[in-house]
Amino acid sequence: MSRVFLLGSGFSVAAGAPLSREVLKKIFARDSKTFEVAQLETWLDRHLFHNRSHGCQQADFEEVISRLELFEHYSEPASKDRRLLEAKVNLLLKEFISLLQPDKLRDKLSCYDSFARKLRPGDLILTFNYDLVVERALERNNLGVDYQLFLPGSPLDRESTAIRFQLRIPVIKLHGSINLVFCTRCYSVREASAGALLCNQCRNPDRSLAKESSTLRPFLIAPTLFKSYSLPDLRRIWYTAYNCLSRAQELIIIGYSLPAADILTAQLLDFAHRSCPHPQKVTVVNGPHPDLTRLQSLYIQGISNTGLAFADWANLIP
């Protein structure tokens, strides 16, 4: 039986990962922030929040990066404004990535290990979380992670990973991941490595690096999926998600209530459910008082609500 686990922010809450609406406050309300970060806040307040002091601290991080992606799209390529915008976005993403580093989270919890031990061949994980909580839980329990991307790397590395893990669980990161980057020239996605700022695939025949636009940028995607127009890997993983959702026998939704702004996700879930040739069991693990209004409108045949928060469900349910 194939099962799809759909993970939202409620999955990583136990590890201390900030919710999207808490991220900007965490970045900008620190006493220890650098001058550069303080300037970034002023810039965001000026450009997105009508110059309201600390306006961005009240905003949702995903909404802010969606708006910045649109600005980028409509700005003149290679202009001074565009370069400034890119520098600000890069700094914001760098601060965000640093918040979610494994050493900042408490992810070695029994609930994550229990979750990993429930997994079996044929299962698939879809996640909106940018952090590495689920990957680390799988690895602690000798399960490999398969991002369903073609990640360049040495064949030897791949072989040793295949031997180390007998089972690799497909983990589709629908909004990207803090450990992945993409090249702004060839658009390939790869694992981030310390200090690598330029794409090593974008070389000319004389082995020199292509002059322009071959920088590596974080593979972090706003819910508008605006980047999907340029990133084939992103389109591919959303299509894989659709395929798996439309065939799954069981869908287990953990810590995700389908926010009203996630229109594309609602369409994905709706279309996949309608395309499924057999009845699907849908289970929700969203705490004792979940708002199921939007999910219920998609799964009219019914949802089984556990009434449990993730940590309790993982530890209690065999």
Minimum Å gap between C-beta 230 and Zn ion is: 12
Minimum Å gap between C-beta 187 and Zn ion is: 7
The nearer residue to Zn ion, 151 or 266, going by C-beta atoms, is 151
> Is residue 200 a contact point for Zn ion (CB under 5 A)?
no
The nearer residue to Zn ion, 10 or 218, going by C-beta atoms, is 218
Tell me which residues in 45-104 interact with Zn ion (CB under 5 A). none
> Is residue 285 a contact point for Zn ion (CB under 5 A)?
no
> Is residue 160 a contact point for Zn ion (CB under 5 A)?
no
> Is residue 38 a contact point for Zn ion (CB under 5 A)?
no
Contact 37, 95 (CB under 8 A): yes
C-alpha dist (Å) from residue 13 to 23, 118, 186: 13, 20, 35
Contact 104, 111 (CB under 8 A): no
> Is residue 231 a contact point for Zn ion (CB under 5 A)?
no
Helices 133-140, 110-118: axis angle to 10 degrees equals 70
The nearer residue to Zn ion, 32 or 204, going by C-beta atoms, is 204
The nearer residue to Zn ion, 201 or 293, going by C-beta atoms, is 201
> Is residue 181 a contact point for Zn ion (CB under 5 A)?
no
Count of positions on this chain that bind Zn ion (CB under 5 A): 6
- H-helix or E-strand spanning residue 192: none
Stretch that binds Zn ion, among 189-197, 198-206, 236-244, 291-299 (CB under 5 A): 198-206
> Is residue 174 a contact point for Zn ion (CB under 5 A)?
no
> Is residue 183 a contact point for Zn ion (CB under 5 A)?
yes
> Is residue 202 a contact point for Zn ion (CB under 5 A)?
yes
> Is residue 178 a contact point for Zn ion (CB under 5 A)?
no
Angle at 150 between CA 146 and CA 154, to 5 degrees: 90
Alpha helices (H) along the chain:
9-12, 23-28, 35-48, 61-74, 80-99, 110-118, 133-140, 155-164, 232-247, 263-275, 293-298, 310-316
> Is residue 190 a contact point for Zn ion (CB under 5 A)?
no
Report the C-alpha gap between 318 and 233 in whole angstroms. Answer: 35
Spatial CA neighbour of 37 closest among 223, 297, 300, 29 = 29
**Residue ranges binding Zn ion (CB under 5 A):** 183, 185-186, 199, 201-202
